[in-house]
Structure 1
Amino acid sequence: MRTNQKNNIENIKDEINKLYEKLEKDDQKEKKEIEKEIKNKFNNLSKYILELKKNKKFEEMLNSLKILLPIVLDKLDNKNALCLLEDLANAFGTLNLKNLSSSKLRKFYNYVILIDAENDRDWFVKLVRLKSLIYYDYGREKNNRALENLKEFIEEAVKLISNAENEELMKTRFKNFKLFFEAIVAYHKTVAKD
């Protein structure tokens, strides 16, 4: 990814986070204007992601996903973030994971959906184990770029979940990760070869 594009995405992400902070502090009168600005920023990000997909920019898509994943995992209470999640899942699932078999992707997704963060004390241990499961498969198929993309996505997600400030935020991020992974699997199915 070109440095200026990466910086632009990071800047927009930072601006969105600052707007959220401002939204929490400001009075009701300014909230509408801030919400409108947040919506515009999310729309710009979605347009950019769809442009990457259209132009088959694999590396840029993966890097954009890594940059934007914190917003996806933290801000899904906002409908604009949900739209961004859909666009990211669509582009990543159909572009970066296109050459990954559905059964391989489902293997990891099925493992994730069985993790119950609300009722299982060891849920985080199970989530971290997901990394070793994917590394095992990646070690067997080192030339599989799609599997490498999935590995990088899972590494980034687990890192974000584990770096949460408290248990509640960890669980929220994990819940949103599950939703995001589900959307990736759904979009991937439209291009999967098996």
Structure 2
Amino acid sequence: MTIPAWLKPIVQVAEDKTEWPPTLAPPEDGSARASAVLMLFGETDGVPDVLLTERSWGLSSHAGQVAFPGGTIDPDDDGPIGAALREGVEETGLDPSGVQILNTLPTLWISVTNYAVTPVLAWWKQPSPVRAVDPGEVASVHRVPLDDLLDPANRMQVRHPSGSVGPAFRVGDLLVWGFTAGVLSRLFEVAEMERPWDRTRVTSLPQDAFRSPRRA
């Protein structure tokens, strides 16, 4: 398996399942809805990046949020890996033949929506053009440079109206928060990639983070 040196610490984290808090494990009764997301890392002109989507503002849940491509695992899928690749194709139009699956992270529970999400780690060995295939589902598709995500000036914590506080990234017009930000933040921390940032910088989520559908 040939992967760039910068990606190896991330792969190592995926192999060590103990680095993920057991409090994030889904209910043992199997009531959570099984789903998967594609954590696709690549390079653009030698610059490391990760594939993220901005969900449509017309969706009934998680409208407008920045997220990894992903969704519910269908009966016909070959488990989390099959679901993650299928969703990646359906949402961004990527060519799956250029994607090298590396590992899966522990399944994590999103209690608010009761999803049991398995992140699928992959290397984009042969990148292909991507776009928002279905505007009703995905508003935009982005290859976000890791340097932008790791820049301390772009890091903060956000306070949800419920009172909970979690990590976030501001990259251009994109605000990455919630599940996606939590996974990226933990990944960077354990892989020892993060740079010191001001964890006391806490801001409330903007009101339009909960507005659906989006108005022009």
TM-score by length of 2: 0.25
Relative to total residues, which structure has the larger helix share, 1 or 2?
1
Structure with the higher strand share, 1 or 2: 2
TM-score, normalised to structure 1, is: 0.27
